[in-house]
A and B are shown apart, each in its own frame.
Chain A
């Protein structure tokens, strides 16, 4: 059973793109360890049977890959919600740090 330490939590934060403070990581490590311990019984259920995937009665629905609304119909509404924009684009910070 995993016993999460502070660094594990910070690493998960990086994977999940969430800035976690040291203080938060301290609190989270106990919580996450406790939940992982609790959920470990899923192994008992699944171990007792073969794990073949079954196909249910509900399956995927497809449609033609075509544009169904006129270009620009929702552009203004959607861009109005963007924190920063440049014309018709969402503006973002630079992706590569070249310093």
Chain B
């Protein structure tokens, strides 16, 4: 698959043009997206017009052209692009048109990226499979009987089916890294505050970050570099000196929280993980065991904090100022009916949970305790990072599952066991493809002689706050150079 880096080289050399790249993107979309459904909307005419301009600019400017000029990109549909539908894959915003550009969109446009379409997702980014999209699920391009993961499933599928070399997703509890793992691509979640959230539909405001899904770590680094930075429109953005420098090294000490993986991880996924550990060792890195007992309970804290923030953030969808509005006799009636009709099951479930944990009498027992647990997790992780440079886990405990396979909420939530603690503590993490596992039609592991499908499995590198360059460095050494 074409990377941003190779496209850029060809654009500069003139052997391939932005117009050809955008045409290629749409020929993939037109051939495959009826089946895959990675996109909720596409902007062909406008993209082709921008490509003509970009093509001319390369002729005139060559390598001085902006870094992403002419590169086709897909954006998860919870990211606002002025004049375009921003649905959050929810019925309540089915006809909502964004009135301004998100900061990351302004930055991507300034860098010359061409937005080709809006990517499908779980409704308001709540889910791990895109099965919660109000507009129908996305299929995994690796095996269309399986989910692409989520909530940035459309973004991951758009890259995996080679429609675009980069798609932007958002990650509140694993929503970039888990679909990257399921689709066999790279997914990066930055340090909290590194990327502006202005113009992103808020889900869990203390957890949300936007990041790239790409074919290589180098591409992720490039795009993250463009999207990150302090923003006056988001008071939680950090500056370059907020955290102590996290140096890049020749070789790293890598900590593995083995207790954390004792249960619930598929045996063949563990095998891919262990092979990656061996590869790290033979590349000269030092592997040590670390203990992160609180991380094992992170998921519980997450399912208190996140719904609490969801219930507050989604109060804005009221049927009055924008979005779906139901007929009602009184104002209250309009609120209740608009929200009852507009929200899907998972969104309702989380709003009600959040309402419960924040309600008088339960606040201290749930939200207060979860926030305290979160503080303790941060301390625990900081101690571990005194001794190791990187913490390594699988990105998800299983490969992509088949549609409907995770039907009860708690088992779906457990897919996020390794990714959620990263959001709770605010550190950066990257999922890179670690290998594949072979499964037959009953999802049982099988040998090469059997009819089956090779499903990608990701490994997750976690660095201290502000440690993105360390993640990119090790990621490039372990993945880019070998592929």
Which residues of B are interface residues toward A (Cβ below 8 A)?
A: 96-97, 99-100, 192-193, 232, 235-236, 238, 242-243, 294, 297, 299-301, 303-304, 311, 315, 318-325, 328-337, 339-341, 343, 345, 348-349, 351-353, 355-356, 359, 365-366, 368-370, 372-373, 375-376, 408-410, 413, 465
Known: A18-B340, A18-B351. Contact between A57 and B242, CB under 8 A?
A: yes
Cβ-neighbour of B193 out of A58, A60, A92 (below 8 A): A58
Whether the pair B353, A61 counts as a contact (CB closer than 8 A) is: no
Instruction: Give the nearest-CB partner of B93 in chain A.
Output: A81
Whether the pair A35, B409 counts as a contact (CB closer than 8 A) is: yes
Q: What are 17 pairs between A and B in contact, CB < 8 Å?
A: A12-B352, A12-B359, A13-B340, A16-B355, A17-B335, A18-B352, A19-B340, A19-B341, A32-B352, A35-B353, A53-B375, A57-B465, A78-B99, A83-B319, A83-B322, A95-B331, A97-B329
Chain A residues, CB < 8 A from B333: 93
For residues 47 through 74 of chain A, which have their beta carbon under 8 Å from a beta carbon of chain B? 47, 49, 51, 53-54, 57-58, 60-61, 63, 74
Whether the pair B321, A81 counts as a contact (CB closer than 8 A) is: yes
Known: A32-B353, A58-B242. Contact between A49 and B376, CB under 8 A?
A: yes
Whether the pair B376, A45 counts as a contact (CB closer than 8 A) is: yes
Whether the pair A97, B330 counts as a contact (CB closer than 8 A) is: yes
Instruction: Give the nearest-CB partner of A16 in chain B.
Output: B355
Chain A residues, CB < 8 A from B242: 57-58
Instruction: Give the nearest-CB partner of A41 in chain B.
Output: B300
Which residues of A are interface residues toward B (Cβ below 8 A)?
A: 9, 12-21, 24, 27-28, 31-32, 34-36, 38-47, 49, 51, 53-54, 57-58, 60-61, 63, 74, 77-78, 80-84, 90, 92-95, 97
Whether the pair A35, B372 counts as a contact (CB closer than 8 A) is: no
Whether the pair A94, B353 counts as a contact (CB closer than 8 A) is: no
A23 to B66, CA, bound (A): 55
Distance from B370 Cβ to chain A, minimum over Cβ atoms (Å): 5
Whether the pair B304, A45 counts as a contact (CB closer than 8 A) is: no
Distance from B367 Cβ to chain A, minimum over Cβ atoms (Å): 9
A-B contact count (CB 8 A): 160
A63 to B233, CA, bound (A): 11
A76 to B79, CA, bound (A): 21
A99 to B343, CA, bound (A): 31
Distance from A76 Cβ to chain B, minimum over Cβ atoms (Å): 10
Chain A residues, CB < 8 A from B376: 45-46, 49
Whether the pair B300, A40 counts as a contact (CB closer than 8 A) is: yes
Whether the pair B328, A93 counts as a contact (CB closer than 8 A) is: yes
Instruction: Give the nearest-CB partner of B234 in chain A.
Output: A61
Distance from A29 Cβ to chain B, minimum over Cβ atoms (Å): 10
Cβ-neighbour of B348 out of A24, A54, A58 (below 8 A): A24
Instruction: Give the nearest-CB partner of A51 in chain B.
Output: B372
Chain A residues, CB < 8 A from B345: 24, 27
Whether the pair A93, B329 counts as a contact (CB closer than 8 A) is: yes
Instruction: Give the nearest-CB partner of B304 in chain A.
Output: A39
Distance from B293 Cβ to chain A, minimum over Cβ atoms (Å): 9
A49 to B329, CA, bound (A): 51
Known: A35-B409, A95-B330. Contact between A19 and B337, CB under 8 A?
A: yes
Whether the pair A15, B321 counts as a contact (CB closer than 8 A) is: no
Chain A residues, CB < 8 A from B351: 16, 18
